[in-house]
Structure 1
Amino acid sequence: MNQTDAGSKKSAIVFGGSRGIGSAIVRRLAKDGAAIAFTYASSASQAAEGAAAIEAAGGTAIAIKADSANIDEIEAAVEQTSEQFGHLDIAVINAGILMLGDVSEVSPADFDRMIAVNVRGVFFAIQAAARRMREGGRIVTIGSNVAVRSGFPGSSVYSLTKAAVATMVKGVAVDLAPRKITINNVQPGPIVTDMTSAHLEQIVPLIPLHRAGDVDEIAALVSFLANGEAAYMTGASVTIDGGLSL
């Protein structure tokens, strides 16, 4: 699809969209009719397959290699998206890393890497997207329920980063309100992905609904926050974890 064709529909960028929750969000926004760009850090073949599947279904998708710890690459991804589609309406910041470690063992390098991706990278992805976003745009961050309930050992730094995002969106919401751009934060609990399958057996008994979540359930919530029906909602963090944080 050329730029003129893409200009007639909404466009979106999803940071961290090649696998897991991010991939489900990409598919859902494409199903909703948006032209999609998404970033990936390492798996070029997986990203290419995801984009090709959307194109084969009649949608528009481009995969962009970008490290969310690198501000230049973040900005370049947003620039490429807005130039390819002629505008930007939706940004979803899903990129993040989890590095567990007891408080007595966390190295400065690991601490700095998690801050760089999970906090600094999120902030500058928001900044880059907001600069190019049309009035009335939508920004959604993907946090975690550990911002509310940090219930497992070794999660202190990860929890810190996700709590920072939850607080960050409140301030950003005020800054962007004059342009009618909303920003909200989704906080998933245990979700079935290839990265979590080995740990879910121990966690599921603690969840009041007695199951882990599905990636498509997170994508559905993002879809709602990214459309016009959520225009009066901004600065909020929505926890979706089967009641684990209650």
Structure 2
Amino acid sequence: MGVLTGRTALVTGASRGIGRGIAERLARDGARVAVHYGRNETAAKETVAAIEAAGGAAFTIGVELGLPGDVEALWAEFDRHADGLDILVNNAGIGNTRPIDEITEQEFDRVFAVNVKAPFFIVRHGMARLRDGGRVINVSSGLARTAVMPDNMAYAMTKGALDVFSRDLSKVLGPRAITVNSVAPGIIDTDNTAGLLYGTEGGWAQAAAISALGRVGETADVADVVAFLASGGARWVTGSWVDATGGSLT
């Protein structure tokens, strides 16, 4: 039996990239996983199929975040499949924004609606469903602590806000033995970073050189950290910002 057997997890933005890696890892540890997606139903079903092929259990939830009624719709769909939640991973987000001299107010509002407002209200409406002793894990970014990519400023700002949310929420949910932490990836090989890694000459080597470990991160590198925080072994870790950048901030 896995360390998360009997528990239910919800991972937002789990159809691809880091979210998919997290969903598959939690399922491998025994959790039944709600695989949330915004638009790509096919990819979400592929994630579920991969989980089931490995002997796990999962189901999809399709709701586009950042729109009116999004959180209510997400929880209504979740309630059709489960009667409570043990692990919430707020991973869904817009990963890139244009420089300050190009971004529009509409784009700015959109990234904050998806990356900050949605996680806040997912928790706000999900607290009654979250069982005592549960886990909330917010996927942040190393860019919340470094100005290495200033053209991605608005995105980095959302992750800074998410970190404050994690810190303060840990005090709110602590009396129920629910831990809350942020996990901050660095550059991870996903379709979201394909332009950086594969679209420019020497992009991969430059990205690898940023890490103290000399390589580009993989989704499993982040998923393993999330899995630890979701486990009983992390029961005394809360309100923390966990650096999962491979030493990119050193």
TM-score normalised according to structure 2 size: 0.90
- The match for 2:189 is 192
- 2-structure distance, mates of 1:217, 1:82: 31
2:167 is aligned with 1:170: yes
Aligned-partner residue type, residue 243 of structure 1: G
Distance 1:26 1:109, change over 3 A: same
**CA shift for structure 1 position 71:** 5.8
**SS of equivalent residue, structure 2 residue 192:** coil
- 2-structure distance, mates of 1:71, 1:59: 33
What is the aligned counterpart of 2:13 among 2, 5, 16?
16
- 2-structure distance, mates of 1:231, 1:83: 29
**CA shift for structure 1 position 82:** 4.3
1:71, 1:124 within 8 Å by CA — same for their partners in 2?
Answer: no
TM-score normalised according to structure 1 size: 0.92
1:139, 1:181 within 8 Å by CA — same for their partners in 2?
Answer: yes
- The match for 2:88 is 91
2:83, 2:129 within 8 Å by CA — same for their partners in 1?
Answer: no
- The match for 1:209 is 213
**SS of equivalent residue, structure 1 residue 131:** coil
- The match for 1:60 is 57
- The match for 1:115 is 112
**CA shift for structure 1 position 193:** 1.0
Gaps in structure 2 of 5+ consecutive residues = 198-203
1:82, 1:88 within 8 Å by CA — same for their partners in 2?
Answer: no
Distance 1:113 1:101, change over 3 A: same
2:18, 2:223 within 8 Å by CA — same for their partners in 1?
Answer: yes
- The match for 2:100 is 103
**CA shift for structure 1 position 198:** 3.2
The percent identity for this pair of structures is: 38
**SS of equivalent residue, structure 2 residue 69:** helix
CA deviation digits over 1:132-169, x for unaligned, max 9? Answer: 11111101000100001121241111111111111111
- The match for 1:4 is none
**SS of equivalent residue, structure 2 residue 35:** strand
Aligned-partner residue type, residue 62 of structure 1: F
- The match for 2:142 is 145
2:225 is aligned with 1:228: no
**SS of equivalent residue, structure 2 residue 195:** coil
User: What is the aligned residue count?
Assistant: 239
**SS of equivalent residue, structure 1 residue 140:** strand
Aligned-partner residue type, residue 60 of structure 1: A
- The match for 2:69 is 72
2:33, 2:57 within 8 Å by CA — same for their partners in 1?
Answer: yes
- 1-structure distance, mates of 2:239, 2:80: 28
